[in-house]
Amino acid sequence: MNSTTLSTRIRLVVSTVALCLVCGTLAFLLRSHGLFGGLPGRSDVFAAGPASTRTYQEGSRLYLDNGTLKVGLESNWGGVIVEVISHGTNFVNNFDTGRDIQIAVYDGDPYPPCGDCKHEQGWDPVQGGDWHKHGSPLLAQTLGKDSIYTKTQPYQWQPDNKGGGAGKAIPGDVFIEQWVSFIPDVPFGIKVHYKVTHFGTDQHTYTNQEFPAVYVNWEFGRFVYYGGEAPWTNAPVSFSTMPNLPKSSTQMYAPEGWGGFVNDDKVGLVVFVPGQFPNVGGFSSPPTALKNSGTHYFAPHMPFSFGPNSVLEDDAYVFGGDYEQARKAIYSLHHSLAPHESSPPYGYVDEPKWNTKTAGPLTVSGWAISGSQVAGVDISVDGRLVGPANYGVPRPDVANIWSHVPSSCGFRYTLDTTRYSNGQHVLGISVKDTAGHVVVLSKTLVVIDNPAGTAKPN
């Protein structure tokens, strides 16, 4: 596996394995718009910049500079952030199109156009471009007085199984828009407003999205975050070292919604995503003989499902310099920003697996949690409600991975398959919570094959 493939491909270890989210299931939010309520044309996508802010272009790089922090976007790579420079030091690892600070989106199920391909081999539009180093082209760019806007239609990370290859990139069916500006009165911080619009007509299943992926240079190897029981009280932070690939970290509890990589002088890059779930994960990739190949990575936990015309829209705040100063700025933002709605349910379907062949009783099981409280899990067959699952089954294995979740978050249901005709059916599992969210956690194909004479269809 070459280094280019490694940089983005292994991100999925964190987003699909360590996160233990839905794999091989179909899920979507029953909403007409974004998960976090962003609206097109909203006037607050840019923060007002300092008077000294200037924007300019040098070659393919678009720059935002206020004299304290210099931010560079690569226009040949979909506008990804490739430079966050403080006192002459760039914190961002810009080794290739798969690193940097950027958006990448995923499908939890196999992607039909390429057969049984999944994860980064399946539906995976990446803002920077594909693994052959084809950069996603910009469709629009605007250098304002104190802000930069970009729009791209990102390429699929793996084009080889979708009719493309080394000589042909394959565009994805999303647009990624990005507004970058400085945070008022915080010269060492930027606000990045992201809007991801899925214009395809298909459904991509509920799984973690990189919103954003954060790659830093090798010398910033200490991961800092708050992981205690008293968020927003200035309690002591935690430090960690990410494991080297092929391993990745367990999910770290981060109730203040931020994390960063710093050096021994407490200087580095910190990212705050107010709308994220309170968990982060990452890894390290040691240097090879290739220049700038060593990196450390993390991403906030942001599950979402892209259906027809769905939009994922929210803000990320990026700080360069002393992490303690960054935390102070994050506290100020926390107190001034409008509260985000509670996180919708998410979880995992353990059984049945996709295309399971079954007869007689079929066990349906998994787990689900929510930012509020799970109110129920419903089972359906071919779109018709069958009944509620038993929710509250002990799942200490989930609690061991996801700290601060109920240990009894499992669900179980026994489906009498003899009530249905032999052949292929769609088994649906939906979760609702006390905040009013409804998530279809899975729409899994099962094949019923009961002996002749035992079926008793409804």
- The residues spanned by each domain of the chain are 3-336, 346-448
User: What pLDDT score does 50 carry?
Assistant: 56
- Owner of token pair 């506008």: 79
Arithmetic mean of pLDDT, 109-127: 88
pLDDT tens-place string over residues 21-53: 333 333 333 333 333 333 333 335 655 555 589
Looking at residue 35, its pLDDT comes to 34
Per-residue confidence (pLDDT) for residue 46, from 0 to 100:
59
Alpha-carbon distance of 344 to 112, in angstroms, equals 27
Instruction: Check residue 207 and give its pLDDT.
Output: 83
Per-residue pLDDT at 170: 98
pLDDT at 17: 37
Check residue 110 and give its pLDDT: 77
pLDDT, residue 44, reads 54
- Residue 280's closest CA among 199, 213, 204, 345? 213
The pLDDT of residue 15: 39
Q: Could you tell me the two tokens for 119?
A: 């994860």
**Residue 420 clears pLDDT 50, i.e. is over it:** yes
Looking at residue 51, what is its pLDDT?
Answer: 58
pLDDT tens-place string over residues 59-117? 999 999 999 999 999 999 999 999 999 999 999 999 999 999 999 999 877 788 887 78
Give the range with max mean pLDDT: 29-43, 152-166, 441-455. 152-166
Q: Are 81 and 194 in contact (CB under 8 A)?
A: no
What is the pLDDT averaged over residues 163-169? 97
Question: Dihedral sign, CA of 11, 72, 302, 185?
Answer: positive
- CA 66, chain centre distance (Å): 30
What are the helix (H) ranges across 274-412? 323-336, 396-401
Neighbour count for residue 167 (Cβ, 10 Å): 8
Query: Is residue 278 helix, strand or coil?
Result: strand
Buried-state track 180-207, b at ≥16 Cβ within 10 A, e below 16 = bbbbeebbbbbbbbbbbbbeeeebbbbb
77 C-beta neighbours (distance < 10 Å), count: 29
Pairwise CA distance, residues 311 & 316, whole Å = 16
Do the beta carbons of residue 348 and residue 409 sit within 8 Å?
no
Q: Is the pLDDT of residue 246 over 80?
A: yes
Residue 225 scores a pLDDT above 60: yes
Please report the pLDDT score of residue 24 as a whole number: 34
**pLDDT for res 47:** 59
Over residues 216-231, mean pLDDT: 96
Say if residue 314's pLDDT is above 80. Answer: yes
The residue among 161, 158, 157, 140 whose CA lies nearest residue 149 is 140
* pLDDT above 70: percentage of residues in the chain: 88
Say whether pLDDT at 365 is over 50. Answer: yes
Gap between the Cα atoms of 430 and 432, Å rounded: 7
pTM: 0.84
Residue 34 pLDDT: 36
Q: What does the pLDDT look like over 177-189, one tens digit per residue?
A: 999 999 999 999 9
- DSSP at 171: B
Rg of the chain, C-alpha, whole Å: 22
| SS3 of residue 8 by DSSP | helix
Task: Identify the residue whose tokens are 């990446």.
Answer: 126
**CATH of 346-448 given 2.40.50.140, 2.60.40.180, 2.40.10.120, 2.60.40.650:** 2.60.40.650
Query: Mean pLDDT across the chain, nearest whole number?
Result: 87
Q: What is the mean pLDDT of residues 435-452?
A: 87
Q: What is the pLDDT of residue 456?
A: 72
pLDDT at residue 5 greater than cutoff 70: no
Residue 457 has pLDDT above 80, yes or no: no
Q: Alpha-carbon dihedral of residues 43, 45, 50, 53, nearest 10 degrees? A: -110
Confidence band of 455 (pLDDT split at 50, 70, 90)? low
Residue 75: closest CA among 150, 181, 146, 126: 150
Q: Residue 331 contacts by C-beta under 8 Å, 6 or more apart in sequence?
A: 232, 234
* 57 or 46, greater pLDDT: 57
CA distance 263 to 143: 33
CATH of span 3-336: 2.70.98
Give the C-alpha separation, 122 to 258, whole Å.
Answer: 29
pLDDT of residue 21: 35
